Amino acid sequence: MRVLFVLASILRASACNVGDVDCMTIEAQGKNIVELAQSQSDLSTLVAALSAGGLTGTLSGKGPFTVFAPTNEAFAKIQPTALQALLQNKATLDKVLEYHVIAADFRMKELMAVKVAKTLEGDTVKVDDPENKIVVNQANVLTADVAATNGYVHIIDSVLMPPSLPPLPLKVNIVQTAQRTADLSTLVAALSAGKLVDALEGKGPFTVFAPTNEAFAKIPQGTLTTLLKNTKLLDQLLEYHVLSGAFTARDLIATKVVSTLEKEQLVVRNMNGVMVNNAKVVTADVGASNGFVHIIDHVLVPPWFPETVYPMNIVELAESQPDLATLVTAVVAGKLAPTLSSNQFTVFAPTNEAFAKIPTATLQKLLADTAALDKVLEYHVLPGHFTMRDLMSVQKAQTLEGAAVTVMSNNGIKVNDANVLKADIAASNGVVHVIDSVLMPPTETSKKNIVQLAQSQRELSTLVTALTAADLTGFLSQTEAYIGGGPFTVLAPTNEAFAKIPKYALQALLKNKQLLRKVLEYHVIRGKFTIEDLARARTARTVESNFVDVSKRGWSSDNFVVNKHSVVLTADVEASNGIVHIIDSVLTLPALSATGSEKAGDSTVVV
């Protein structure tokens, strides 16, 4: 007996240095086995299982005990439904947990010496060291000899199952998950043909959007056959379905925009279920050992993909383009989606950046006002199928809203003031032209010509008086169709702007028709230019033949100045024959800037 005691003492004093096992011999600061487990964040699932199985009291007792403690990752290897069922079945859970406990305190050296040890459950566990790694049954020992006041804990990487119970179903990797799902057989064939199997069997983690067989069946058979034979294209298509990292559906909804392996964007929306671009998630959060699978009802097609994979109507096409996500939100909010899913239409589609040009508060107000939003959206839609060549030949086309849009080729193709970024994107029920600005339908104000518009604005009454005195009202009332007439861009000083001029000088100016006309013509540019257009051009020639300078001051989208000092108070006020930008100062003629004055009868005018 004394010999056995001496042998045990020698074994206890030996260092444990087998393989990669971390052997700890330091006392756990007076904690019993349960308290020790509770202090380790990586054993929280085990603690929950001990509580559910009613073993907390036993393992807090005097003991001694030896416990094989599975980590959270060990429990996570079990299929979620099977794990939940185990935690809810107290009788089975007790058997499983007791199979992890020996009613004696054994260090790892002692267990390796005896090889086999009987557990509380009644069956035995086998301890071995194949390939210089310590294993208990098939579980790897991660950390050995963690000392507690009532025994030892050895941390392992798998849950041990008693021989008397059937093995628990374990999570498999993403490829195996797809292989075991009957409705993903076409995806499995595509993964194999596209050479992505090895990658998705790797450590990851990955998140995969997995199209069903029905989703692939939406692709014409000839197109699908061609794709399966073209490894390069197939890989590009399939990689658009894969994210780096493990994301649940809740994670995706919170993130809203996610990047694929190839750094392309996907938009996630919560619209009567989770939508990824134009695909609906039919089964979410299928756990795999190396990530998550979300089963979807459409094959996702990258915006830049060179082949037409399957026909999409206008709404589905917009949903498939991440850069049109705000437009999709607007179409759904405006109740226009059913209309655009049928019949033949031509749609001018503003990008996300186009909508971002609208102040946030204004955009939110518009999205909340269905009637106003429908009016704006309908102004982007033409009944019928029109290519850009068709539109450029007619130049004007009537929209669903009732008003017309103008299509012109002027330093690129423009629809009204919006640049066409991409034309002639075919849909099954029409065509889409992507534009860089939101088109605003004509308002009652914009049906007025420039003079009528000024007359309707109280703050421009002095300007109207000046235009009348200079005989310019007829000139600025001319329409685009009038030869040599509009459209015009007018920089319109407010009453307060004119009030900055000394009263005597303003009265003298209004009486000097020749000088007044020159000053006012210096505020008029031929052509219709938004304030952004003018800022990009920097300078513009006026009707008076001199130039004005327009610039953006700082980063604010509405902080524009003319000739470095006159601030634009209100930009882009539409008129039937042009556009008006309201400014806070009367612009000084360059000739007057040089001399400082000009004689006007008996008075000197200073502008």
Architecture per CATH, domain 14-156, reads as: Roll (2.30)
Pair 526, 488: CB distance under 8 Å: yes
Q: How far is CA 579 from CA 224, 229, 329, 445, in A?
A: 52, 56, 30, 11
Q: 539-586, pLDDT tens digit by residue?
A: 999 999 999 999 987 654 457 899 988 999 888 888 888 999 999 999
Q: How far is the C-alpha of 209 from the C-alpha of 390, rounded, in Å?
A: 39
DSSP conformation class of 459: G
Q: What DSSP string runs through 220-267?
A: -HHHHHHHHH-HHHHHHHHHTTEEES---HHHHHHH-EEE-TTS-EEE
Q: How far is the C-alpha of 415 from the C-alpha of 399, rounded, in Å?
A: 12
Secondary structure (3-state) at 425? strand
Burial category of 377 from C-beta neighbours within 10 Å (exposed 0-12, middle 13-18, buried 19 and up): buried
Helix extents (H) in 142-217: 174-179, 185-193, 197-200, 213-217
Q: 285-323, pLDDT tens digit by residue?
A: 988 889 999 999 999 998 888 888 888 899 989 998 899
Pair 25, 120: CB distance under 8 Å: no
Architecture per CATH, domain 445-605, reads as: Roll (2.30)
**Residues linked to residue 598 through DSSP beta bridges, in sequence order:** 605
Pair 202, 289: CB distance under 8 Å: no
Residues of the chain under the 70 pLDDT cut: 1-29, 410, 444-446, 479-485, 554-558, 592-607
Helix extents (H) in 427-475: 450-456, 461-469
Return the CATH class of domain 174-307: mainly beta
Q: Write down the domain spans for the chain.
A: 14-156, 174-307, 315-435, 445-605
Q: How far is the C-alpha of 260 from the C-alpha of 59, rounded, in Å?
A: 47
What per-residue confidence (pLDDT) applies to 27?
46
Pair 249, 294: CB distance under 8 Å: yes
DSSP conformation class of 406: E
What per-residue confidence (pLDDT) applies to 548?
96
CATH fit for domain 315-435, picks 3.40.50.300, 2.40.30.10, 2.30.180.10, 1.10.357.10 = 2.30.180.10
Secondary structure (3-state) at 381? strand
CATH topology of 14-156 equal to that of 174-307?
Answer: yes
Q: What is the pTM of this model?
A: 0.57
Pair 59, 65: CB distance under 8 Å: yes
